Amino acid sequence: MICYRLRLLSNLNVKLCYPLFRCLVPKFSSDCAIGDMSGGGGLVQYLVIRSDLKWSKGELIDMKRALVAQACHASTAIIHLTYSHTDTQTYLEDLDNMHKVVLKCELLSDLTSLSELLKEKEIDHKLWIEQPENYATCLAIRPMRKEEVFEYVKDFKLFR
């Protein structure tokens, strides 16, 4: 596995591995950064984004930007809501090595079903409801150990 560390304008480091997406897929975790999870206290934050929203060709770039913004909102919201949790504090201690996995769901019902399942299992998460449209676009799970949450997200594919 070939990995590169990039420094972004925001002074945050990003680790990219080749092949890029292989490094992010949980089932390949033994040979890439998400597997050893050496940074962030061995914690990962999962985000699940809807991929079923239909856009016209001209709107595609703007809608993708909007989805990225909504994923950021959901991630920030769950960090805020669980700020005092030990895992969240540990995750935030090493900002340059936070691990996030962004997945996609094909249907709104998949996203809402995941939210209901996580509520039932008492797993902290935030279902982002875009306003004023009032529809769910993203779900963010608080930073957790992969083995605690992977069984609930294992059927979702990477968002590309």
pTM as predicted: 0.73
Buried-exposed string 1-19: b where 16+ CB fall within 10 A, e elsewhere = eeeeeeeeeeeeeebebee
Q: Is residue 94 part of a domain?
A: yes
What is the rounded CA–CA span in Å between residue 124 and residue 126?
Answer: 7
Q: Is residue 130 part of a domain?
A: yes
pLDDT at 138: 95
Q: State how far the alpha carbon of 5 is from the alpha carbons of 2, 10, 18, 96, 100, in Å.
A: 10, 14, 12, 11, 16
3-state secondary structure of 18: strand
pLDDT at 19: 39
Q: Is residue 103 part of a domain?
A: yes
**pLDDT tens digits in sequence order for the chain, 160 residues long:** 334 444 333 344 444 443 333 333 333 333 333 344 445 668 999 999 998 876 555 565 577 788 889 999 999 999 999 999 999 999 999 999 999 999 999 999 999 999 999 999 999 999 999 888 888 999 999 999 999 999 999 999 998 8
pLDDT at 39: 56
Q: Is residue 145 part of a domain?
A: yes
Q: Is residue 86 part of a domain?
A: yes
What is the rounded CA–CA span in Å between residue 40 and residue 145?
Answer: 10
**DSSP character string of 47-114:** EEEE------GGGHHHHHHHHHHHHHHHHHHHHHHTTTSHHHHHHHH-GGG--EEEEEESSHHHHHHH
- The boundaries of the domain holding residue 98 are 43-158
Q: Is residue 4 part of a domain?
A: no
Which residues are CB-neighbours of 32 under 8 A, at least 6 positions away? 1, 3, 17, 22, 23, 24
User: Side chain identity at 39, as an amino acid letter?
Assistant: G
Domains held by the chain: number:
1
Q: Is residue 99 part of a domain?
A: yes
User: Side chain identity at 107, as an amino acid letter?
Assistant: L
Q: Is residue 48 part of a domain?
A: yes
Which residues are CB-neighbours of 94 under 8 A, at least 6 positions away? 39, 40, 41
pLDDT at 90: 95
What is the rounded CA–CA span in Å between residue 24 and residue 157?
Answer: 10
Query: Residue 150 is part of a domain; what is its CATH number?
Result: 3.40.1490.10
